[in-house]
């Protein structure tokens, strides 16, 4: 399902924004070339967004980073940028 995505699980070498964009594009069945996936794009306004699609995207990220994301913090993420920052913070904390 996520062919072509290669991840490096070391926080210092990882582009979290690209990880989030790839995970959401696959989970929402979107074409990254034609879909606006900028930092300020609201997650709730993305095409095909649902709680199940968000869960699929977050499960993909968890498996790639080998972390468990905090559900209460996921709810607070409003934009793609918010989500990328939250995931980076949790990944760095888990690696420490």
> Please, what CATH class does the domain formed by 11-95 belong to?
mainly alpha
24-81: per-residue pLDDT in tens? 999 999 998 889 999 999 999 999 999 999 999 999 999 989 899 988 878 889 999 9
Contacts of 70 (CB under 8 A, 6+ apart): 90
The three-class DSSP label of residue 25 is helix
Residue 14 confidence (pLDDT): 79
Contacts of 61 (CB under 8 A, 6+ apart): 19, 20, 23, 69, 87
Residue 12 confidence (pLDDT): 61
Helices first, then strands: H and E counts in the chain: 4, 0
Q: Among candidates 10, 12, 80, 89, which has minimal Cα distance to 49?
A: 80
CA–CA dist 72, 90 (Å, integer): 12
More confident position, 95 or 11: 95
């Amino acid at each position: 399902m996520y062919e072509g995505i290669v991840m490096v699980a070391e926080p210092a070498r990882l582009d979290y924004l690209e990880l989030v964009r790839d995970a959401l594009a696959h989970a929402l069945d979107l074409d990254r070339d034609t879909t606006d996936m900028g930092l300020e794009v609201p997650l709730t306004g993305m095409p095909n967004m649902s709680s199940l699609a968000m869960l699929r995207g977050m499960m993909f990220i968890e498996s790639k980073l080998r972390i468990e994301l905090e559900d209460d913090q996921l709810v607070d993420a409003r934009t793609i940028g918010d989500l990328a920052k939250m995931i980076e913070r949790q990944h760095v904390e888990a690696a420490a």
